[in-house]
Amino acid sequence: MASGNAGKIRELRQLLEHLNVVVVPQSDFDLSDADETGTTFEENAIIKARHAAAATGLPAIADDSGLLVDFLDGRPGVYSARYAGATATDDDNINRLLDELDGVAQDDRGAEFHCVACFLLHADAQPLLAKGSWRGRILSERRGEGGFGYDPVFHDPQSGKTSAQLTAEEKNARSHRGQALRALVKALGATAT
């Protein structure tokens, strides 16, 4: 897995455990993060997968995901993980988001998590891409202790909870990353036959 993000690694392991796939994070190879120089989720997912496959000689799965807030014209978008700065924590990013939405009515806080997952058999392979998205809205306060990133403020209308209040199974069934990875696994199965 071309990521050092513990939350992403945990989610990927849960999503792929039934396939007997061993998910090895790039940190096990002492591999630094790829420079996310792309301007789209697709470009960044491919950059990360190519970086990991080239450095390890192994197949790689990478994803790039982020939060697109309607009122903010799609921000933070591809900059979601570093919205409040290059060394920002999840709390820093949430604080910036909540500051920017201060005074905005709940009905105007629509948002979508978006994910592009990429599989590469080797560094020069044609990338296999899959996408997922999850609509909701941004609350004005944090709720829940689970998940990571913007989960405590992202309200899922289907469950009536934030993604931080969902169990891992509930989140994986609904989330943008879960959708993208299930689509990727399905596409991998189709290309193997």
Q: Please tell me the distance from the alpha carbon of residue 77 to that of residue 52, in angstroms, as a whole number.
A: 23
Q: Which of 63, 64, 151, 156 is catalytic?
A: 64
CA distance 6 to 92: 18
List of residues 6+ apart from 92 with CB closer than 8 A? 84, 85
Reduced to 3 states (helix: H, G, I; strand: E, B; else coil), residue 40 is: coil
Residues linked to residue 132 through DSSP beta bridges, in sequence order? 115
Burial (Cβ within 10 Å: 0-12, 13-18, ≥19) of residue 147: buried
Q: DSSP letter at 34?
A: P
Q: List the strands of the sheet with 110-120, edge to edge.
A: 60-69, 110-120, 128-138, 154-156, 161-162
Where is 83: in which H helix or E strand? none
Main-chain dihedrals φ then ψ at residue 134, nearest 5 degrees: -140, 110
Q: Does the active-site annotation cover 64? A: yes
CA distance 60 to 3: 10
Q: Catalytic residue positions?
A: 64
